[in-house]
Chain A
């Protein structure tokens, strides 16, 4: 756990975000992301987890009112160059009328100062790295010609095209089916390890977060409930809300919750 000793890559201090006159989406969040770690941000709908992810990448809508500070190690970061961002909806995050290779290449062109041919060549390499088959052909394909999983791989290629320090995955796998989700999570884990990227993984799925992350932050109603190493948050949760989340989780390793209902059913087969 070398990550634990390093200085924070990002330090949030008292971050508060409100949209319009509604109750704040985030209230006074203090949170450090350590360089090289995999941090999972979990919470149910309305917990503010996506707002927090967007705040890191300076993507909040202009109407959002923010207070508090986000401090970065060194200079202030540039979206795309220092932070890669992958969104939930793989179909929505790609321009429908631009070839996918160009959409990856334009990131490399913008941040690495490459010419178009060089940027396209880099897109081709990246397609290979994210496990897309036949990269030379696929760079010319359009989003509608790809499956959901393939689109998310393209989005990942675009996110890491400029070798960012931090990769933010905002529910990046929840629109995919179980098998594809597992593949994309494995890919994110591999890419982060190979490039030494810090990972912020935002999810509503506590089990998925537990499998991937070094540390877990639990959000509820815009407040940070609990933050700690995965083993501790899952194994010995301190916060009652975290405990209730874990109790509510129904997984393969959970006991059948409705045994009584099942028992009373007529036996068959």
Chain B
């Protein structure tokens, strides 16, 4: 286990630098924005030049960019993300309120795409070049070419508008007083379409990776050796070929988490799911720069944590990771 611990420690140290770059970079980018939170406030609330001046001073916006960056970093150390003008609430509270919905959506969509995708990938990769393989891989390519927002709309037209099987939007029935299991079921029911829209596209990615990985493993000597040892084909496919081909998929799981978070912006917007992605769109609409910065930062931290978990999982799956000590 020291092997895994060493890896985690190294990743954590690297992550601190990465997050620092993210904070400074996105802060500088958002500084370049024409207009600031005060403008946004005045546009929505009204006010004169005097109010603008006093607000700028009160929010520290009259200081230099570097001073404000230092102030921002200092506040971050105290887990203070600033104040959202659009919501008139601390950004941390707004973001943390929305985060669980996005994590639920992302987690479910990831599970769907990873497990179903790799399973279908094994089916395709078990006999490379077979009709089954060609159908599955070309079909998955077509699926991978579908824009997620459009798939979402088509799902809405078919399952919500025409068939009326599933709810059109939202995360739960509005103004229902459901509690406990009934509420969980209600939320799950609402999330079926969003999860499918987000998950099916990445399913294609995992299917293709699994298939391509297996095609590569089939060519390796140890598979010929396994055949020479007379192992049943089923065991060769599952215990050797698929097992080895799975490793890059686990890496992809980490890389993909950032893309999934980005993809949830559109999906949450189509289905009106009150999550982080929709919040980002609201922040853009309201010119709420500090809120946007907070969302980017929280997303980055989420991605870092997911990657850490993925690294640990990978180290458990691949005995070679971090093992340079044996000659």
Tell me whether A80 and B229 are in contact in the complex, defined as CB-CB below 8 angstroms, given that A92-B222, A96-B320, A144-B326 are known contacts. Answer: yes
Which residues in A have their C-beta under 8 angstroms from that of B231? 80, 106-107, 110
* CB pair B243 A98 closer than 8 Å: yes
Main secondary structure of the interface of B (DSSP, over half): helix
Binding site for B on A (CB under 8 A): 57, 59, 78-81, 83, 85, 87, 89, 92-98, 106-107, 110-111, 142, 144-145, 147, 155, 158-159, 161-162
Q: Which 6 A-B pairs have the closest CB atoms?
A: A80-B230, A92-B221, A85-B228, A93-B225, A80-B229, A79-B230
**CA gap between A155 and B225 in the complex, in Å:** 9
Hey, what's the 0/1 contact readout for B229-240 against A, CB within 8 Å counting as 1? 111100100011
B244 within 8 A of A: yes
Which residues in A have their C-beta under 8 angstroms from that of B224? 59, 87, 93
Which residues in B have their C-beta under 8 angstroms from that of A96? 222, 244, 319-320
**CA gap between A59 and B244 in the complex, in Å:** 21
Which residues in B have their C-beta under 8 angstroms from that of A161? 229
Tell me whether A110 and B221 are in contact in the complex, defined as CB-CB below 8 angstroms, given that A97-B317, A142-B319, A144-B326 are known contacts. Answer: no
Which residues in A have their C-beta under 8 angstroms from that of B244? 95-97
B131 within 8 A of A: no
**CA gap between A97 and B221 in the complex, in Å:** 14
Which residues in B have their C-beta under 8 angstroms from that of A79? 227-230
B323 within 8 A of A: yes
> A79: nearest residue on chain B (CB-CB)?
B230
Which residues in A have their C-beta under 8 angstroms from that of B227? 59, 79
**CA gap between A147 and B235 in the complex, in Å:** 27
**CA gap between A59 and B224 in the complex, in Å:** 8
> A111: nearest residue on chain B (CB-CB)?
B230
Which residues in A have their C-beta under 8 angstroms from that of B88? none
**CA gap between A11 and B83 in the complex, in Å:** 86
* CB pair B247 A85 closer than 8 Å: no
**CA gap between A147 and B326 in the complex, in Å:** 9
| Number of residues from B at the complex interface, CB < 8 A | 25
B176 within 8 A of A: no
* CB pair B229 A95 closer than 8 Å: no
Tell me whether A97 and B243 are in contact in the complex, defined as CB-CB below 8 angstroms, given that A142-B320, A144-B320 are known contacts. Answer: yes
* CB pair B228 A94 closer than 8 Å: no
**CA gap between A134 and B235 in the complex, in Å:** 28
> B229: nearest residue on chain A (CB-CB)?
A80
What's the least CB distance linking B318 to chain A, in Å? 6
What's the least CB distance linking A63 to chain B, in Å? 11
Which residues in B have their C-beta under 8 angstroms from that of A110? 229-232, 235
* CB pair A95 B221 closer than 8 Å: no
> A107: nearest residue on chain B (CB-CB)?
B229
Partner of B319, one of A57, A85, A93, A144: A144
B135 within 8 A of A: no
**CA gap between A159 and B224 in the complex, in Å:** 13
What's the least CB distance linking B128 to chain A, in Å? 11
Which residues in B have their C-beta under 8 angstroms from that of A83? 228
> A164: nearest residue on chain B (CB-CB)?
B230
Q: Give the one of A79, A159, A162 with max B CB within 10 A.
A: A79
B226 within 8 A of A: yes
What are 28 contact pairs spanning A and B, CB under 8 A? A57-B228, A59-B228, A78-B230, A80-B228, A80-B229, A80-B230, A81-B230, A87-B228, A92-B221, A93-B221, A93-B222, A94-B222, A95-B240, A96-B222, A96-B244, A96-B320, A97-B247, A97-B320, A98-B239, A106-B239, A107-B231, A110-B229, A110-B230, A142-B319, A145-B326, A155-B225, A158-B225, A162-B230
- Known pairs A80-B228, A87-B224, A94-B222. 10 more at Cβ < 8 A? A57-B228, A59-B228, A87-B221, A89-B221, A92-B221, A93-B221, A95-B243, A97-B244, A98-B243, A158-B225
**CA gap between A87 and B239 in the complex, in Å:** 20
Partner of B226, one of A95, A111, A162: A95
**CA gap between A160 and B159 in the complex, in Å:** 59
* CB pair A94 B225 closer than 8 Å: yes
**CA gap between A79 and B228 in the complex, in Å:** 5
B179 within 8 A of A: no
Which residues in A have their C-beta under 8 angstroms from that of B320? 96-97, 142, 144
**CA gap between A95 and B245 in the complex, in Å:** 12
**CA gap between A110 and B231 in the complex, in Å:** 6
B220 within 8 A of A: yes
Which residues in B have their C-beta under 8 angstroms from that of A145? 323, 326
What's the least CB distance linking A143 to chain B, in Å? 9
